[in-house]
Amino acid sequence: MIFGFMKGTAGGIAGAILGIGVVIIGILAIFLFAIIGSVIGAITGFMLQIFPIIGPLTVKGFQQFGISIPNLAAIGAALGFIAGFFKQNFNK
């Protein structure tokens, strides 16, 4: 039988196991989005670092904030990881 149509204690246990599985999958999906955001941020930071005009300008901007030797790939990865937790659905 399908979990929703079971009756009694067996249905309650099956529903609880299914619910726990859904929660675990949801938590793993949140961390997966954060990891994907981190990879995209690192790639973007690396590409920004090798551009001839924008790269040095960005490095000088970070040096103005007190970061002496900024690694744009690492900064991009950190910002991508943080942004991975703040996904929003704009379809309304």
Instruction: Please check the confidence at residue 12 and state whether its pLDDT lies above 90.
Output: no
What is the reported pLDDT for 63?
93
pLDDT at position 86: 77
pLDDT at 60: 93
pLDDT tens digits, one per residue of 16-69: 888 999 999 988 988 898 899 999 999 999 999 898 899 999 999 999 999 888
Looking from the CA of 78 toward its CB, the CA atoms found within 13 Å total 6
Residue ranges per structural domain of the chain? 9-83
CA distance 5 to 85: 36
| DSSP track, 2-69 | -GGG--HHHHHHHHHHHHHHHHHHHHHHHHHHHHHHHHHHHHHHHHHHHSTTHHHHHHHHHHHTT-SS
Residue 91 has pLDDT above 80, yes or no: no
Residue 70 near residue 63 (C-beta atoms within 8 A): yes
- Burial of 76: CB neighbours in 10 Å, binned 0-12, 13-18, 19+: buried
Report the predicted TM-score, pTM, of the whole model to 2 decimal places.
0.70
